[in-house]
Structure 1
């Protein structure tokens, strides 16, 4: 009993001391958050105004999560709240903070050095704000950090040389969509646990450091949209867990290293928009068992597209446009049941079929998920088969422009009821445009330019109420523009230049208030210009040159503030053009 009495005051004193310390700690947390609150200058959803009350516990504030036992702030998630303001140094006093998410707001200014005291932090997301300055070197002391995203801000300058010196736990580093420059430093290899590295959409220059091959845990490498040059380093072949390799839109040169075609884990290969050259190996898909997307467009690749590309059975996207590929397009592509996107535009590709009908389109009927077919600007030199109407109902884009096509436009195209984009221009079609096309109610883009169309414009065009862009130039279209054109309420771009249109312009044309560009040049149009054309407030380009218009130039044209290009040359119009126009 005597022993118990002796210890009781000591125990009480210890408990009282712990309570005092705990109270002081939560007061420190509250003080830090109040300072943060005072730096928020815009609160559009009144979250701070209505909920962050000083009279209540910070653990009850929206976005704040506390540890249940110690009542310390462990997480602050204020993402997508529309806040604007700056980050005060006091935020670093949240000494128990494990997770900080301030993404998708409008915070600006620099990252305060006080944040270097957040030594428990494992998750930091500050993406999609307006933060600026150089990436602070003190980030390298946050040794528990596993996720760091500063994506889509205004950070500039070089990467700190020591950023990875003490970040052994970092798994994801995202510094994309900033204004960073200089070389990608070899010190990044010290972040040996990285699974995802994203430095894309910056201004980094120089060579890709070979030591990136030391990041053996890497699954995603995004270095696209920079100013990188030189060859793709062979050391990347050491990344045996790599699933995404994004090096697109740089100035890389040389050929694709052969080891890339043996990376069995690779799901996406993006080398789009470089200066790469060479040929694709005949067995290119021997090791790429998991490849889903291949982006090799806008390079200098040549040679054939291997028929073995169909062995990449998981492919959903093939983007090889803008190269120097030649030879036949392999019909085996039609075996890719998961294929959604096929872009082979602007090469020197031909048809694999020995008959005039293009067998490619028959083979593509096996691609049940196909949405995008772009094979224009190739010398296909054949006839579209009726089987094109058996393509997947999901096809939204079909571009066969400037492909040496002849014969009739198959009316079965009308079966593709989800078409949004249809490019048939610059070919040698015979006959008329099938009326089935006028039933494509979702069509937004239609190019029928330079296909030797004759006769009047079909009133069936007026049924395409989703149409935004209509190209009919360089034909032999005669007659007048149908008055029902005012049904095309979504039309933005209209080009009927270099035809044989006669008569006057229908007044209904000026009802299309959304028009941005109109080219009716080089026709036989006549009559006066209506003052109502001045109501097209969105108009940026208007070309009525080389016609037979007469009368005074309507003064209402000069009120079109968005107009930056106007041509009325070679008509019989009268009037002067204001000096300030």
Structure 2
């Protein structure tokens, strides 16, 4: 692929990404000593990353993601002091990160090694890459504690460590990571879900940067109460706390997060009713509350959630009838209220949800006839009314 270019000694930028090149990256790439940018991503390249790339001492941006590369990262790459961006995501790379990985990478601003097979610890010395703004190490096999030294990266904007086998560095039940990150004043995206952190979310989480928009800590073995201080993160757009062992009810402070678009509280042992404060989240598009012990009725003010598209409150203890206001949400695409104690007739107004693709009301106590208007849900591809007390005939216009 590059054999014809190896004599272009003055070449500074080479971008062959988003093609269908296959084969190996030739060692001759190391002859392009003036290269500042090398992008070969989104191809079908295989084999290892040649050691000779470590000879490109003027390189500022290296992008080899979305290929089928294997083996480890050549040690020489960690000595390219000019390197600002290292993008190797979505390959089959493996190995461990050097304990002194930032000794020579003084200018590194962005590192993406996600979707690979890297293992071992995240070196505490990563904080020596003091210019880092983005760290993407998710979907690997990293283990050991998440270093609290990440809090020294004052320019950090994105921390993506999801789907590894990482633990908490602190011996205290409270997760010191979130306390340390309060010093990262530009932080906007924290994703550490699917790691066995096994601890308590500290109240100091409310002291995170006001710029935080994503906070995803699902399936982390968390326990205790959801801190009220989460309500201090007034710019939160995505909040995911699923599959943990929380106790108590949903903190009322969450209902003050006016910019929230995504809320996932699935399977976290929540109790108590759905507060009317929920109806204040007018930007909310995704509401996932299934597999809890939420009781009482669905608030009648649901029609205030004018942006809502996906609603899942299945497997709870909801009772009473469905509020008529639910059918005012014309933007709804996905509704799952199955496995509750809901009762009463199904309103003909349900046929007005023209965008609905999935409706699951199974395993409740609904009675009466199936409304004939249900035929007008022309985009529906999944409908379940099973295990209720519905009577009469199935509408002919089904």
Q: Same fold, TM exceeding 0.5?
A: yes
Distance 1:526 1:363, change over 3 A: same
SS at structure 2 position matched to 1:417: coil
Task: Deviation per CA, 1:137-172: give whole Å up to 9, x if none.
Answer: xxxxxxxxxxxxxxxxxxxxxxxxxxxxxxxxxxxx
TM-score (norm 1): 0.66
The alpha carbon displacement at 1:222 in A equals 1.5
Matched, 1:576 2:358: no
Aligned with 2:287 (options 451, 470, 474): 470
CA displacement at 1:411 relative to structure 2: 0.9
Q: Which runs of 5+ in 1 are unaligned?
A: 1-183
Matches within 5 A, 1:450-529: 450-529=267-346
In the other structure, the counterpart of 2:62 is 245
Q: Residues of 2 paired with 1:385 and 1:572: CA distance?
A: 46
Q: Is 1:303 aligned with 2:143?
A: no
Q: Name the stretch that deviates more: 512-521 or 186-195.
A: 186-195
2:73 maps to which residue? Answer: 256
Superposed, 1:342-353 pairs within 5 Å as 342-353=159-170
What SS is found at the alignment partner of 1:203?
coil
Partners of 1:249 and 1:558 lie apart in 2 by 44
Cα offset for 1:537? 1.6
Whole-Å Cα distance in 2 between the matches of residues 432 and 267 of structure 1? Answer: 45
How far off its partner does 1:190 sit? 4.5
198 and 554 in structure 1: CA distance in 2 versus 1, 3 angstrom threshold: farther
Output the TM-score relative to the length of structure 2. Answer: 0.96
**Does the CA-based 8 Å contact 2:270-2:293 persist in structure 1?**
yes
Q: Relative contact order (alpha carbons < 8 A, sep ≥ 6): 1 or 2 greater?
A: 2
Distance, in Å, in 2 between the alignment partners of 1:241 and 1:560 is: 60
Q: Relative to 1, partners in 2 of residues 1:527 and 1:333: Cα closer, same or farther, differing over 3 Å?
A: same
Q: Which residue of 1 aligns with 2:176?
A: 359
Q: CA deviation at 1:561?
A: 2.6
Match of 1:431 among 248, 264, 273: 248
1:522 & 1:190 partners in 2: Cα distance?
68
What is the DSSP-based 3-state SS (H/G/I as helix, E as strand, rest coil) of the residue aligned with 1:387?
helix
> Rg bigger for which structure?
1
8 Å contact 2:54–2:75 — kept in the other structure?
no
Cα distance in structure 2, aligned partners of 1:488 and 1:186: 59
Q: What residue is the counterpart of 2:18 in the other structure? A: 201
Please give the per-residue CA displacement for 1:157-208, whole angstroms capped at 9, x wherever unaligned: xxxxxxxxxxxxxxxxxxxxxxxxxxx3522334443322222223222222
Q: CA deviation at 1:268?
A: 0.7
Higher helix residue share = 1
**CA distance in structure 1 between the aligned counterparts of 2:230 and 2:130, rounded to whole angstroms:** 27
Do 2:117 and 2:141's aligned partners in 1 also have CA atoms closer than 8 Å?
yes
2:354 corresponds, among 537, 543, 546, to 537
Partners of 1:577 and 1:403 lie apart in 2 by 47
1:399 to 216, 232, 251: 216
| SS of equivalent residue, structure 1 residue 221 | strand
> Tell me, what secondary structure is at the counterpart of 2:21?
strand
Gaps of 5+ in 2: none
For residues 191-239 of structure 1, what are the alpha-carbon distances to aligned partners after superposition, in whole Å with 9 as ceiling and x for unaligned? 4433222222232222223222222222111122222211111222222
With over 3 angstroms needed to count, the CA separation of the structure-2 counterparts of 1:191 and 1:576, relative to structure 1, is farther
Instruction: Quote the residue 2:264 is aligned against.
Output: 447
Does the alignment pair 1:418 with 2:260?
no
The more displaced of 507-516 and 191-200 is 191-200
CA distance in 2, matches of 1:546, 1:571: 6
**How many residues are treated as equivalent by the alignment?**
397
In structure 2, relative to structure 1, the CA distance for the partners of 1:220 and 1:559 (3 Å cut) is same
Encode CA deviations 1:509-547: one digit per residue, 9 max, x unaligned.
Answer: 011111111111111112222221121121122111222
Deviation at 1:439, TM superposition (A): 0.6
Distance 1:437 1:322 in 2: 29
**2:2–2:29: 8 Å Cα contact kept in structure 1?**
no
How far apart in 2 are the matches of 1:385 and 1:397?
Answer: 17
Q: Secondary structure at the match of 1:308?
A: helix
Q: Conserved in 1, the CA contact under 8 Å of 2:175 and 2:200?
A: yes
SS at match of 2:263: strand
Q: SS of the counterpart of 1:194? A: coil
1:552-567 counterparts in 2 under 5 A?
552-567=369-384
